Amino acid sequence: MKAICYRLNSALTGFFLLAFAVVMPALVQAQTANDGQPVKALTTNSSGALLVLRESGLFVLDGKTATEIPLPPSDSVPRPNSLATGADGSLYLSGPGLGIWRYEYASERWQSLSHTLPDLGITAIAAHATQPDTLYAYLGEGGMFRSRDAGAEWMKVDSGPREPVEAFLHSDMPGSMESGWLFAGTTRGVARSMDCFCFWGDAGDLRGTVTVIGYDPSAPENVYAVIEGQLHHSSDGGETWAGIETPQAVTALTFSPTEGLLVGTENGNLLSRHASGGWGPVHE
């Protein structure tokens, strides 16, 4: 009996060792891009690959391989800080001093979309959830701009919420008079407007500087916001909020069609949330 137990035990250990040996290189590879710095932004493209903006560059994480996408050229020191995926899967990148760019996956080239913007001081961008040609940009003092032709022509639509905007999101949550909702993370909390820009109001009474905002496209009432690294969740479109525990402070988030909620942390890690509510490394 003892012997059987022992043999089973050693077989199990062997199995785990083997499994570890198989998985480990993949883990290492997936995390190679980790520079130990906070993840600056995350988005998911139409084929489910994860795009990770780090201090050290922009990476596509497709399954177990991480590929770097060279950043667009810039005169000044570029400070990319915002990613968005359009309804057609296009990738958008922006940042203060950098303007707004679209990446052509096929030709592997960046195209500047800033020609009709008054300046390059882009604080945050958002892409319309269902209309591929509609984009939004927040220019700080300059206010809120919208393009309906994929960035060729920008028009100022609004000065935005009263407080400055740090993060921006378009969502196809139902109930809007027009085609969806805009959520803005401001220094006061989350502001919400229908996408007619007909009035920015408080979304609930979550207070603090919201630096990250996202939602679940498969259940759009679920909105997520980060204040000082703490993740908050609303299941009613921003009316009420509750904190979610995370192992490390959160600095970016996105939704993947396969893995659900994914966060980037201040240590540069990428974590996904298990059904049980716990967190684990992405691609584990």
Partner 1 sequence: MPLEDGDLFMNKWLVPLVLLVAPALVMAGGEPSNGDGVPTEMAEGRQIYEQYCASCHGWQGEGAADWNKPDEKGEMPPPPHDETGHTWRHSDAMLFRMIAEGWRHPFNETDQLTMPAFKDNLTDEDIRSVIEYLKTFWAGDQRRYQQSESHSRDRHPS
Residue 181: how many CB atoms within 10 A of its CB?
24
Site membership for partner 1, residue 233 (CB under 8 A) = no
Q: Scanning residues 59 to 118, which ones bind partner 1 (CB under 8 A)? A: none
- Residues touching partner 1, count (CB under 8 A): 16
Site membership for partner 1, residue 178 (CB under 8 A) = yes
Inter-residue contact 26 to 63 (CB < 8 Å): no
Whole-number CA gyration radius for the chain: 20
Q: Residue 189 to residues 47, 100, 168, 208: CA-CA distances in angstroms?
A: 32, 25, 12, 5
Site membership for partner 1, residue 148 (CB under 8 A) = yes
Site membership for partner 1, residue 177 (CB under 8 A) = yes
Q: Which residues pair with 262 in a beta bridge?
A: 254, 272
Which lies closer to partner 1 via its Cβ, residue 79 or residue 162?
A: 162
Which lies closer to partner 1 via its Cβ, residue 68 or residue 88?
A: 88
Stretch touching partner 1 by CB under 8 A, among 12-20, 91-99, 104-112, 168-176: 168-176
For residue 163, what are its two tokens?
């407080």
What is the C-alpha to C-alpha distance for residues 158 and 205, in angstroms, rounded to an integer? Answer: 23
For residue 262, what are its two tokens?
């994914």
Site membership for partner 1, residue 235 (CB under 8 A) = no
Residue from 197, 235, 256, 267 touching partner 1 (CB under 8 A): that is 197
φ, ψ of residue 262 to 5 degrees: the values are -120, 140
Site membership for partner 1, residue 175 (CB under 8 A) = yes
Given the rule CB under 8 A, which residues bind partner 1?
131, 134, 148, 174-179, 196-199, 201, 237, 239
